[in-house]
């Protein structure tokens, strides 16, 4: 899941970003409206967590320009019904008043991400491998797998693709953030570690000059 956090209070922005990464999300952070639009011009996000009160281009205008290409969770210190109605009228999909509980923020981001893609089963599976995104649990043949957030996210992407080939570039875009070096070996290294943890028989196949898939090549 790819998320953009747009918040001008840097401590809060970095805290949200760190927390969402610990939940297995790929997160970019922007501190004003202009920077947010720069990110949005080059990257497709599942969810944008957007502060309404931003320097530069206001949050309301950023929301208008997103225009439905991403789900928007709008944050604001204002909490009246009129404020919420106005925010939703601008195109936001959900609204959260500050201060907020981080667990609620995570739940709302996940709910919006599910709405941004075709409906998926609550439990993803292939053979004896299962993955529960909501509980952050993956198992093989009933054995719980001890996966890092990146390994979990890669497995989730591959299972969501239901046997279709997923390129290394697609995994880099969906699992890592904009600071990732496109020439890095991070994808290959993560897939190798994931294969080791999944054990035999192999679950992930490499498709030459294509990428990776769950199942036979």
Residues, the chain: 217
* Residue at token pair 């320097």: 55
Average pLDDT score over the chain: 86
CA dist 2 to 5, 83, 97, 143, Å? 10, 27, 22, 28
pLDDT tens string 151-185: 998 999 899 888 889 998 888 888 887 766 666 78
Name the CATH architecture for the domain at 2-116.
3-Layer(aba) Sandwich (3.40)
Q: What CATH number belongs to 124-214?
A: 1.10.10.10
pLDDT tens string 119-153: 455 788 888 999 988 788 999 999 999 999 899 98
**Domain spans of the chain?**
2-116, 124-214
pTM above 0.85, yes or no: no
Per-residue pLDDT at 106: 94
pLDDT tens string 73-116: 999 876 555 665 665 666 788 988 888 999 999 999 988 987 75
3 state SS of 138: strand
Compute the average pLDDT of residues 207-211: 83
C-alpha to C-alpha distance for 190 and 210, rounded to whole angstroms: 17
């Amino acid at each position: 899941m790819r998320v953009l956090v747009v918040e001008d209070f840097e401590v809060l922005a970095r805290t949200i970003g760190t927390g969402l990464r610990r939940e297995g999300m790929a997160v970019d952070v922007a501190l004003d409206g202009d920077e947010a639009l720069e990110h949005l011009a080059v990257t497709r996000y599942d969810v944008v967590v957007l502060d309404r009160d931003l320097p530069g281009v206001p949050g309301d205008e950023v929301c208008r320009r997103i225009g439905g290409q991403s789900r928007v969770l709008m944050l604001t210190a204002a909490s009246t019904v009129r404020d919420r109605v106005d925010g939703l009228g601008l195109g936001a999909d959900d609204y959260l008043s500050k201060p907020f509980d981080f667990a609620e923020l995570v739940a709302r981001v996940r709910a919006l991400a599910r709405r941004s893609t075709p409906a998926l089963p609550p439990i993803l599976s292939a053979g004896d491998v299962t993955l529960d995104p909501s509980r952050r649990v993956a198992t093989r043949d009933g054995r719980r797998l001890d996966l890092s957030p990146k390994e979990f996210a890669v497995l989730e992407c591959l299972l969501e693709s239901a046997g279709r080939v997923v390129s290394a570039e697609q995994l880099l875009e969906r699992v890592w953030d904009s600071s990732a070096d496109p020439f890095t070996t991070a994808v290959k290294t993560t897939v190798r570690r994931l294969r080791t943890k999944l054990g035999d028989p192999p679950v992930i196949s490499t498709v030459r000059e294509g990428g990776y898939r769950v199942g036979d090549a």
